[in-house]
Amino acid sequence: MIAVLVARPGQRDALRQALTALIDPTHAEPGCLDYRLFELTEEPGTFYMRESFADQAALDAHFASAYFQAFAAQVDTLMVGPPKLVKLTPIG
């Protein structure tokens, strides 16, 4: 899955900091296979979080974690809208 997250004007650094704070604890979660943050070169303030979890239960546990819930509580302040979740199916 890829989460697309777009910062409100003036909130780029705050959003980057909030997203970066999710990386280490998420990597430590059972079932986390990949969790990597990118910023679009041509659109500063637009971030992509590439996420892969072993199964739906691991993803649900991630969303329920205290640190993710703390991030989710800031979405209205930091972002122009909710994250867009792009679900992907591996092919090869």
Q: Give tens-digit pLDDT for 20-73.
A: 999 999 999 999 999 999 999 999 999 999 999 999 999 999 999 999 999 999
In a domain, 25, yes or no: yes
- CA-CA distance, 52 to 34, in Å (whole number)? 5
In a domain, 12, yes or no: yes
In a domain, 90, yes or no: no
The parent domain of residue 48 ranges over 2-85
In a domain, 67, yes or no: yes
- CA-CA distance, 21 to 55, in Å (whole number)? 23
In a domain, 75, yes or no: yes
In a domain, 91, yes or no: no
In a domain, 59, yes or no: yes
53 close to 32: Cβ distance less than 8 angstroms: yes
pLDDT of residue 48: 98
In a domain, 92, yes or no: no
CATH of the domain at 26: 3.30.70.100
pLDDT band with cut points at 50, 70 and 90 for residue 90: confident
pLDDT of residue 53: 96
- Our count of domains for the chain comes to 1
pLDDT of residue 44: 97
